[in-house]
Amino acid sequence: MSAKPQVQPKSREVAFRRRERNWGRILKRLLTIYLPLLFILAAMLLPFYWMAVTSFKPYQEMFNLKANPFFPANPTIEHYVHLFTKTRFPIWLKNTALVALCSTAISMVISVLAGYSLSRLRFRGNTFLGLAAFVTYLVPTTLLFIPMAEVTRSLGLLGKTEVLIIVYPTFQVPFCTWLLMGYFRTLPPDLEECAMVDGATRWQALRKITLPLAIPGVITAGIFAFTLSWNEFIYGLVLVTSDARRTIPVGVLTSLVVGDLYFWGPLMAAALIGSVPVAVLYGFFVEQYVAGLTAGAVKG
């Protein structure tokens, strides 16, 4: 039988140094990447976890300082029963979904056309209009809700849920237009020009060539618009006065906060349920959202 080759001391030293370098890289990645990411993830998820824990705690345990704050000892669903049976939360949820979907759809149609025209067409005042679209978004709603209430009252819409579908695009369209302008500029115009040389109209080039390529940007703008309308509070409080026509942010505040008395259990249950649709939307379109946001930000 042939003798096994002997490992030279120098080879052992090289292998040891190689393993040492590998462990050093792993430790460096752990300390510089994974641990900071874990800390950030925990900090971001803690509010949702706290809402979930609080929504399942009975009131006696909620105000007991000796109880475990991170896990309910006697979980209960009484807060959810109170939310769905003693408030109009199902109606608020339906109103919020209707307003968010309709206002987002209207905003996206306007924003796509405005963003495309400002990024592709050349006309006098093009740059000024693009800048004005973004500056309009920066005007706070606390300055606009009084004149907006007067306008909607003159139109006979004050107090109705439909008024929010008309008002919300006023702050959704400027931001979405600015975002889509940046994304459209990342797309080469050569394909559109070739199509128009072959006989396609500008509208056909937009609908069949540019728009399919701009899906990540459109999804990003749509998610922003949906989130803004889903969480909006000032216009919903001022323009809608009937409890049955309100959205979740306004209805929860006006019904579950009485003076200095806060119904923390139902409040946390409503906050947790209200955050689910937005979280699901981000989860389904996270790749398109990141692609559209980075491309628009870099070029815009």
CATH number assigned to the domain comprising residue 130: 1.10.3720.10
Give me the pLDDT at residue 1, please. 46
Residue type, 31: L
How many angstroms separate the CA atoms of 40 and 77, rounded? 30
Is 1 within the bounds of a domain?
no
Domain co-membership, 47 together with 85: no
pLDDT for 230 equals: 92
Q: Are residues 236 and 123 in the same domain?
A: yes
The total number of structural domains in the chain stands at 2
Both 26 and 113 in one domain: the answer is no
Q: Domain of 53?
A: 9-62
Q: Look at residue 72 and tell me if it is in a domain.
A: no
pLDDT digits (tens, 9 = 90+) for 145-167: 888 888 888 888 888 888 999 99
pLDDT recorded at residue 99:
94
94: left (phi over 0), alpha (psi -120 to 50) or beta: alpha
**48 and 140 share one domain:** no
Please give the pLDDT value at position 297: 43
The pLDDT, as a whole number, for residue 168 is: 92
Same domain? 209 vs 254? yes
In a domain, 71, yes or no: no
d(CA 243, CA 246): 5
Distance, CA of 279 to CA of 50 (rounded, Å): 16
Residue 265 lies in a domain: yes
Residue 245 is given by DSSP the state G
- The string of pLDDT tens digits covering residues 20-41 is 667 777 877 888 888 888 899 8
**What percentage of the chain has pLDDT greater than the value 90?**
18
Answer whether residue 288 is part of any domain: yes
Per-residue pLDDT at 98: 94
In this predicted structure, what is the pLDDT of residue 181? 86
Task: Check whether residue 197 and residue 277 sit in a common domain.
Answer: yes
Question: Does residue 85 share a domain with residue 200?
Answer: yes
Residues of the chain with pLDDT under 70: 1-17, 19-21, 286-300
25 shares a domain with 152: no
Could you tell me how far CA 3 lies from the centroid of its own chain? 68
Residues 120 and 203 in one domain: yes
Q: Which pLDDT belongs to residue 103?
A: 94
Position 2 in a domain: no
**Does the residue 69 lie in any domain?**
no
pTM of the model: 0.80
- What contacts 49, CB < 8 A, 6 or more positions away? 70
Kindly state whether residues 45 and 16 are assigned to the same domain: yes
Q: Tokens standing for 81?
A: 């029963």
